[in-house]
Structure 1
Amino acid sequence: MFTTPIAKLLRLVPNQAKKNPMIPLQQVKMKTEVIVETSVQLTHISFYYPLGAEKKKLPVYINFHGGAFIMNEKEMDDPYCRFLANQTGCVILNVDYAKAPEYPFPKPIEQCYEIIQWMKRKADGLNINPEKVMVGGQSSGANIAAALCLYLEEKGGNQPLLQVLSCPMLDFVTSHADKPEPDQWRSRYPQVASFLNTCYVPEKEQAEHPLASPVRADVSDRLAPALIVTAEYDAFRPEAEFYAEKLKKAGVKVQEKLFKDCLHAFTHLGPKEEAEEAWNLIANKIREAAESL
């Protein structure tokens, strides 16, 4: 297979979302880089501590960046982690999770689960309240956040106070050719999306697994409350709306927000006004969840 060489070439494409952030860069009290040993690989993570943070045992929000499971790194979300830290008064943990095809499903989920367990063990030294944990991400990162909640449920672990799913990709079973793709090039060449999918879930059985495709999961009312942000012209909008309804029917508290006239990853690519509104919504929801206990 040529998935790895092609993925490495795609990683060389400049990241437009990183070059032109939607939120101005803010100062934080402290940003700390840590390398954590997991069974998957050595994992680079960043902690952002908010300005003016005085009290001990701060809530923590764990962020997973987007990038189709194969591209990008945590630094693309640096401006947003700074913003969220200052706006919420929480510590933001930004994870550089393992990329496919070198590390396909379920490796990133297992890795991120181990990061959470490590963080809880080190909570005192990190000035974090292990009982006030939230997770979230964008696109592929939102998939990992949703899968983590399901994985924690499987293992009988405590649920996060909140899961933030922004433009989430939640369905590997439905062919991209059958999704409402607005981009004429991606619509004309759905094989590109199929290649990206194959990198993460090379086998059909993997694509059908509920931790890869949360839309196929049996959900319960014990799952974390969700904020689900969607864009009107996003190929993944139907699966996000389907998952939102599935969660609500199970008794999970869900807040949905549809941004009109926006495309996938608008939080990172604009329009700027809508992106700022989305980040403020996410910040408000994190702060609300952190203050709920």
Structure 2
Amino acid sequence: MYGLPYRVRRLIAGPPLRLDGLELALDAQLLLRANELANLPPLSAGAPQQARAYLKENSKLVLGPRIEPVDTRDIRIPVDGDEIGARLYVPTGLPTGSPLLVYFHGGGFVVGDIESHDNTCRFLARHGRVRVLSVDYRLAPEHPFPVPVDDALAAFRFAHANSRELGANPNGIAVGGDSAGGNLATVVCQVTATEGGPKPVFQLLFYPATDATRSTRSKELFGKGLFLTQDDIDWFMGHYATREEDKRDPRYSPLLAEDLAGQPPAYLATAGFDPLRDEGETYADRLRAAGVPVVLSRQADLIHGYVNFLGIGNRFREALFEAAGALRAALEITVRESVAK
């Protein structure tokens, strides 16, 4: 479908969609139209196990061919007397002592895994020229809040303590993630800044979920028919929280933290047609007000989930290229400054 001439693609997608002064990218509109024609059910239509199986099967359609050359190695990370999985991605030929990104996948804390974000991590590793450690944190409802937070913290601390074995520079370890994974990355930064000890040097955040306690204009505008719906959000959050008061915990809703001073610099990307847009941008404003260097990049014509749509069209890859460039520049500067000191 994406290889058809522009006029045919536009005919299939329908008239340009304009909301809130923005126009949806044709690549994104075509994806939504394809989902509509296929009559695909929302993830929230069934049980978590069904949603996971559905995502595993259908994500293959949009991930694209495996990005190479990238070397991989599966790793086990100890957590609370147990273990979680992780995968290390190293662009072929990248020298030892390079920066490392600890990455947390999206999926509402309920779905998603290393495989669902395999190509996303390969892309960031290759084009960001960094090692990437993708973390297979435990999922709700089997492992509700705060288990994924504990896993994320354990993964970052593992990466720092074992940086030499991972071939990484201990002074160049960043965290990142998309959606729920972006939430976990922000929480890792907040907790490590408060507790002292090693903390990330940079945070790469894609449309992070930051506040489960209130509605926003973007949720009202984009909560239906644009990939991530308000029903999906409620379903995810209902599985992640075991008590309503959990949602007011800053480790669940990081926007509610009283003090954001001392956070590492951030690249925070939002999507214009995303229900989570406003809370992500408000979090960027809060970081700036606390004196944290922030690059806020609104991908005004895109939808939630765009980091996974690398196999269709061009617009999604363009957005991820920008993020990979920001990551590479930030980490190279950080590592050089640490060497100079």
TM-score normalised by length of structure 1 = 0.89
Alignment check: 8 A CA contact 1:149 1:159 kept: yes
- 2:224 paired residue number: 184
C-alpha separation in 2, matches of 1:287 and 1:118: 22
Of 117, 120, 141 in structure 1, the residue corresponding to residue 160 of structure 2 is: 120
Q: How far 1:6 moved relative to its partner?
A: 2.1
Q: Does 1:19 align with 2:55?
A: no
- 1:45 paired residue number: 86
Q: 1:116 to 1:86 in 2, by over 3 A?
A: same
Deviations 1:194-243 (A, max 9, x none): 23211112212210011111111123331011111111111011101111
Alignment check: 8 A CA contact 2:106 2:180 kept: yes
Please show how residues 88-107 of structure 1 align to structure 2 within 5 Å: 88-107=128-147
C-alpha separation in 2, matches of 1:178 and 1:164: 22
Corresponding letter in the other structure for 1:141: G
C-alpha separation in 1, matches of 2:200 and 2:120: 20
Corresponding letter in the other structure for 1:108: P
Corresponding letter in the other structure for 1:131: N
Q: 1:6 to 1:59 in 2, by over 3 A?
A: same
- 1:134 paired residue number: 174
SS at match of 2:209: coil
- 2:97 paired residue number: 57
RMSD (Å) for aligned C-alpha atoms: 2.4
Q: How far 1:190 moved relative to its partner?
A: 4.2
- 1:233 paired residue number: 273
Alignment check: 8 A CA contact 1:267 1:274 kept: no
Q: How far 1:273 moved relative to its partner?
A: 2.6
C-alpha separation in 2, matches of 1:197 and 1:68: 7
Q: How far 1:277 moved relative to its partner?
A: 1.7
Q: How far 1:40 moved relative to its partner?
A: 7.1
Alignment check: 8 A CA contact 1:113 1:148 kept: yes
Corresponding letter in the other structure for 1:95: V
- 2:36 paired residue number: none
SS at match of 1:112: helix
Q: How far 1:78 moved relative to its partner?
A: 1.3
Q: How far 1:61 moved relative to its partner?
A: 0.6
- 1:36 paired residue number: 77
C-alpha separation in 1, matches of 2:143 and 2:275: 25
- 1:249 paired residue number: 289
Q: How far 1:115 moved relative to its partner?
A: 1.6
Of 253, 259, 283 in structure 1, the residue corresponding to residue 324 of structure 2 is: 283
Deviations 1:100-149 (A, max 9, x none): 11111111111121122222222222211111101111111111111111
Q: How far 1:255 moved relative to its partner?
A: 0.4
Q: How far 1:45 moved relative to its partner?
A: 0.4
Deviations 1:174-196 (A, max 9, x none): 25899225253589x84543232
C-alpha separation in 2, matches of 1:99 and 1:65: 11
Please show how residues 139-288 of structure 1 align to structure 2 within 5 Å: 139-175=179-215, 179-184=219-224, 190-269=230-309, 272-288=313-329
Tell me the number of residue pairs that the alignment of Structure 1 and Structure 2 aligns.
287
Q: Does 1:81 align with 2:121?
A: yes
Corresponding letter in the other structure for 1:104: P
SS at match of 1:184: coil
The unaligned stretches of length 5 or more in structure 2 are: 1-43
SS at match of 2:182: helix
Alignment check: 8 A CA contact 2:226 2:274 kept: no
Alignment check: 8 A CA contact 2:226 2:273 kept: no
The unaligned stretches of length 5 or more in structure 1 are: none
Q: 1:204 to 1:84 in 2, by over 3 A?
A: same
Larger displacement relative to structure 2 (260-269 or 43-52): 260-269
